Amino acid sequence: MIALGCYIFNKSLPLPNSFSLRIERQLGSSFAAFENSMGQSSPISIRYNPPKNRGEKLGEPIAWATEGRYLQERPVFTLDPTFHSGAYYVQEASSLFLEQALKHSVDLSQPLKALDLCAAPGGKSTHVLSLLNSESLLVSNEVIRPRASILSENIQKWGHSNVLVTNNDPEHFRNLQGFFDVIVIDAPCSGEGLFRKDKSAMSEWSEATVELCSQRQQRILANVWPSLKQNGILIYCTCTYNEKENEDNLVWLETQHNCEFVSLPIKQEWGVEESRKGKAIGYRFYPHKIKGEGFFLSVIRKTEATNTVRIKSKPLLTLAAKKFTERFVDWVKDFDEKEFIVLDELICMVPKRYFTELELLTTQLRTVLKGTAVATPKHEKLIPEHSLALSIELNKGIFPQIELTKEEALAYLRKENLRVGEGQKGFCLMTYQGLPLGWVNLLGNRLNNLYPSNWRVRMGDS
Ligand code: SAM
């Protein structure tokens, strides 16, 4: 190894010098193995969407995540139509440990109100949606507006209606006292755990960034803490190794508030490391010990008494006219459990049991997506929405469908003209391997491709 300027060069990867010195102190004798792992390629992994995958699941299972699989090589996901149908999410393996955190700290058979505070592009949120039962509600929040749009797109592909996507700063959650049973904070961090996978994480890293991130994380924790119920669970995670952003923040939280740390059962063969500092307990993922990238996670139970926000039932959301909703009886599963609301022209489907909560949330937060958009009325006709095509709650059997070849499916996703369904008229679902991709309007001798323009797949996307 040769030291040069502020970098130490190993065979393949220059690590920032001060990072290298610190992690060497942190890891002791396993530093060489860590350094060696930095020169290896990152594992590729995905997480399946259970309702969209009833058959065999390809890939090597990930020990801590039921639906997680390692792939042998990286396909061009953009050229796989099932990726666009929401059949799976491409996600780093270590971060799927969230599943263990939830399974061992909350009763997932109960209806829960969950918040994913730093949610874009949607890995944790779609995972949480798969783990919560259908009577639960997820608020999936992202503070940066363009990232909130990407989040909304990924949530729609996942196909659940028990979700609200919001675009707020963490401080806007302060008024929602004691509202949530579970909060996930996948905090913006210095990204040391991503050095191998994402070279820009390394070039953007500095000691000053670590300091800045740590302070920002404390602000985020302080802002969102009041909205957690007494006995509620906070899951805090980062993709960085330093203690300032991990254990030190937890120790700090414990000095500010009454809380306790939850110990998770981990199997030795997983290679996950338990870390303790003061009363804080965390779980560390290192690339030389597990098949994945660097990650840190801790589960905290709030023990302090917390008032609960009063839900005043102000009629804020407008219900859709009966002449429309009665047509949805056949369109969607579990119709009686849904409420249909109107936003401008659009009719959206939300869980009936959370109607008053949704009224409260929409007064406090800037919402980007409410449940599943079902249809837009035009004169007396209903134009089905793209979200409905991707919904796991769609009764797809009642709509005409055309199964596409891979080439046709890709042409459809690029919003090109298709030559299918000639002679037929009306709205028709385009499917690939039985999975809906979206709608077309058949007009006899031609069709309108209704794939959303801003979701259009472009050649060269990877
Ligand atoms: N949970 C996401 C997932 O699994 O796909 C990844 C989240 S990423 C690690 C952290 C997110 O926090 C980013 O989307 C970023 O825009 C957002 N963020 C940045 N600054 C923030 C702040 N001050 N408060 C809250 N979130 C912030």
- For the stretch 236-273, pLDDT in tens is 999 999 999 999 999 999 999 999 999 999 999 999 99
Q: Which of 72, 125, 84 is nearest to 102 (CA)?
A: 125
176 and 143 share a domain? Answer: yes
On whether residue 325 sits in a domain, the answer given is yes
On whether residue 403 sits in a domain, the answer given is yes
On whether residue 172 sits in a domain, the answer given is yes
pTM across the whole model: 0.96
Cα of 148 from ligand 1 centre, angstroms:
10
| Of 94, 116, 118, 296, best ligand 1 pocket probe by most atoms within 8 Å of the beta carbon | 118
| Of 89, 90, 143, best ligand 1 pocket probe by most atoms within 8 Å of the beta carbon | 143
322 and 458 share a domain? Answer: no
Q: What is the CATH number of the domain that holds 350?
A: 3.10.450.720
On whether residue 59 sits in a domain, the answer given is no
Q: Which of 305, 349, 357, 351 is nearest to 328 (CA)?
A: 349
Residue of minimum CA distance from atom 2 in ligand 1: 119
With a cut of 60, say whether residue 10 has pLDDT above it. no
On whether residue 337 sits in a domain, the answer given is yes
Query: Tokens 């809380």 sit at which residue?
Result: 259
171 and 277 share a domain? Answer: yes
174 and 135 share a domain? Answer: yes
User: Catalytic: which of 239, 259, 348, 428?
Assistant: 239
Q: Which residues line ligand 1 (CB under 6 A)?
A: 118-124, 142-144, 147, 170, 186, 188, 216, 220
Parallel, antiparallel, or unpaired for β 259-261 and 228-238?
unpaired
Residue of minimum CA distance from atom 3 in ligand 1: 123
Mean pLDDT, rounded, of the chain: 94
Q: What is the pLDDT of residues 128-146, one digit of tens each?
A: 999 999 999 999 999 999 9
Cα of 218 from ligand 1 centre, angstroms:
14
Q: What is the pLDDT of residues 390-428, one digit of tens each?
A: 999 999 999 999 999 999 999 999 999 899 999 999 999
Cα of 147 from ligand 1 centre, angstroms:
9
Distance CA 289, CA 4 (A): 28
Domain residue limits at 436: 399-462
369 and 460 share a domain? Answer: no
Q: What is the pLDDT of residues 280-320, one digit of tens each?
A: 999 999 999 999 999 999 999 999 998 888 877 666 789 99
Residue 239 is a catalytic residue: yes
Give residue 306's pLDDT: 87
Distance CA 258, CA 368 (A): 34
Cα of 362 from ligand 1 centre, angstroms:
21
What is the total count of domains within the chain?
Answer: 3
Beta carbons of 441 and 425 less than 8 angstroms apart:
no
355 and 457 share a domain? Answer: no
On whether residue 430 sits in a domain, the answer given is yes
Cα of 212 from ligand 1 centre, angstroms:
15
